[in-house]
């Protein structure tokens, strides 16, 4: 069966510090991978998606970047965090074939920028 791992679970970082959140998927090949951010009282916002190694698309301009160095690894990064980067970050995957497949989410990372 497929599983998705996301870490760390919580993170407190000062403004201006770098960020690296990691997500890995097991039990499947060539998944589509996604980074979402969930702000309090608001719906999930898609930040980045990837359909293959090295292929990253950004949905919104921001202080963050994403990379996919391996087939089942997705990394969310920032060189200098802003207060507005605080939020709940969720990694998700879906099978790489077709659009009729469900999204599967990790447990999320609660990021607090102080």
Partner 1 sequence: KQEVTQIPAALSVPEGENLVLNCSFTDSAIYNLQWFRQDPGKGLTSLLLIQSSQREQTSGRLNASLDKSSGRSTLYIAASQPGDSATYLCAVGQGGGYQKVTFGTGTKLQVIP
Phi, psi of 60, rounded to the nearest 5 degrees: -140, 140
By CB under 8 A, residue 54 contacts partner 1: no
Which tokens go with 100? 């009729």
For partner 1, give the closer residue by CB, 15 or 45: 45
User: 89-107 burial, b if ≥16 CB within 10 A, otherwise e?
Assistant: bbbbbbbeeeeeeeebebe
By CB under 8 A, residue 87 contacts partner 1: no
By CB under 8 A, residue 106 contacts partner 1: yes
Task: Tell me how far, at minimum, the Cβ of 97 lies from partner 1, in Å.
Answer: 10
By CB under 8 A, residue 110 contacts partner 1: yes
Binding mask 17-36 for partner 1 (x = CB under 8 A): ---------------x-x--
DSSP 54: T
By CB under 8 A, residue 99 contacts partner 1: yes
Half-sphere exposure of 94 (CA within 13 A, CB side): 12
Nearest alpha-carbon partner for 13 in 75, 63, 82 = 82
By CB under 8 A, residue 6 contacts partner 1: yes
d(CA 71, CA 47): 19
By CB under 8 A, residue 61 contacts partner 1: no
Give the binding site for partner 1 (CB under 8 A). Answer: 6, 32, 34, 41-44, 46, 49, 51, 57, 90, 92, 94, 99-108, 110
């Amino acid at each position: 069966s497929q599983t998705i791992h996301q870490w760390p679970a919580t993170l407190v970082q000062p403004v201006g510090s770098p960020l690296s959140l990691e997500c890995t998927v097991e039990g499947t090949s060539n998944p589509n991978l996604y980074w979402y951010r969930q702000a309090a009282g608001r719906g999930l916002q898609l930040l980045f998606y990837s359909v293959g190694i090295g292929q990253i698309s950004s949905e919104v301009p921001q202080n963050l970047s994403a990379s996919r160095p391996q087939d089942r690894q997705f990394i969310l990064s920032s060189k200098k965090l802003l207060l507005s980067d605080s939020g709940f970050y969720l990694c998700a995957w879906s099978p790489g074939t077709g659009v009729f497949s469900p999204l599967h989410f990790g447990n999320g990372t609660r990021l607090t920028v102080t």
